[in-house]
Structure 1
């Protein structure tokens, strides 16, 4: 999940503690602890924290539910983040190979040897798991590997991208590349910070069927959603 907005107000007056600060290939990334939460800040913008992983878990579960009953389907997760999607996939014995593409070396380090290993240690130790350090957009375009499910969570979604270049992933060309990386009957699942009726049409025009959107219920505000489409068999 990549929701870029000002760093949250410190309501309980507990000062956040910076655990690590790195200059990465796409700017500064910071890991900090705020009370019980771990937070990732990129270029001064709050990206994600460990407070609520419901939408990331839905991303993985909805993709699996949309698959047929093929044995040990392989999943590619776009974006490691705080590890919610990875740990949820690894907790399900039905998944086969679990590949995660992450472009920030610092985030990978924080999971492998740093504070985020509190969440992902067992998932990373799972023999099905592989971490690929790469830019997801380039990886999708250049890779020849096939997957049964693509679960993409690298920005705010098709209508509200923050990182330059990520919008190409949601374009007809980007979706064609995603479709090419899916096995017949495979599922594309895209996390978004808001629903997008236009994106459903773009998915259909890109050759996906059974297109639908699942929402995460919220008390107020716009719900996070997962857009889904299936490559025809």
Structure 2
């Protein structure tokens, strides 16, 4: 096997395991023994170790010495860290996007919002459970707000952090009694961006990101006081 082939196998395995972690198939804190995981995904031990090492670098698994790996746990502290970094990055990104965005950028926001609203109207169960199809449209909308920032690294960092928070968003979606508040919150974000209300858009983005922490851990205000 060439180095290139081994690298491809490792990345393919990493992508499959990542999808199972983010989708909840592999539960938080579950053990990923090399032998068992190798059999489960049909990949050899060497590319599997490389795949798990890559996922460790992405913050999705933890190495547990010679015993293998374990799926990253979920905790208030972990989500709070994601919220903090996302807030810093996305406030800057939306500021840059508003300054540089053109008609195509505005159209992308409107289009992404329309697709999100249409999915919610047609698939209320998918909305309520935070299914992957819904989450992809949700991510597309938030990416559209930042799309004119001009920084590939900012957008890549947004994408990675957004994906890391997927397990928390599934918990968050269960807290919504109806979709109207969720939809209105995204309409307000879109309006602020398109109206070039920079300070308002930044504040809304920060509050929107922080709402995940407040909804998943309702007692978080006590921790932050």
> TM-score, structure 1 length as denominator?
0.23
Largest Rg, 1 or 2: 2
Q: In proportion to residue count, which structure has more strand? A: 1
Q: In proportion to residue count, which structure has more helix? A: 2
